[in-house]
Structure 1
Amino acid sequence: MCIMAMAWRAHRRWQLILIGNRDEYHARPAAPIARWAGRPGLIAGRDLQSGGTWLGVSEAGRAAIVTNLRGHGGPRSDRASRGALVTDLLAGDGRYGDAEQAALEDFNPFNLVLVDGASAHFLTNRPAPMRAALTPGLYGLSNGALDAPWPKTLALKEGLLGWLTGGAEQPERLFDVLRREDLPDAGIAPTAPSDAPDEAAASPIFIRNAIYGTRFSTIVAIDAEGRGRIMERRFDRHGAQNGEDGIAFRWPD
Structure 2
Amino acid sequence: MRCFLSHLLPCLFGCLISTGAEAGAWARAPGEVFLSFSSNLQGSPEALAGGLTDLDRYDSVYLEVGLGHRLTLGADYGQGEFTREAMAFLRYTLTPPEARWQVALDLGAGRREVDQLGERDLLRTGLSIGHGFARDAPTWIGWTGHDRLEGWIALDAVAVQDTTLDTLRWKAEATLGLSIAGGHALMLQLLAEDWPGNDIAYGVNPSLVFRVGDRTNVELGLRATFAVQEEYGLELGIWHRF
Same fold at TM > 0.5: no
Larger strand proportion, structure 1 or 2? 2
Which of 1 and 2 has higher RCO (CA within 8 Å, sep 6+)? 1
Write 1 or 2 for the structure with the bigger share of helix. 1
Select the structure of larger CA radius of gyration. Answer: 2
TM-score normalised per structure 2? 0.32
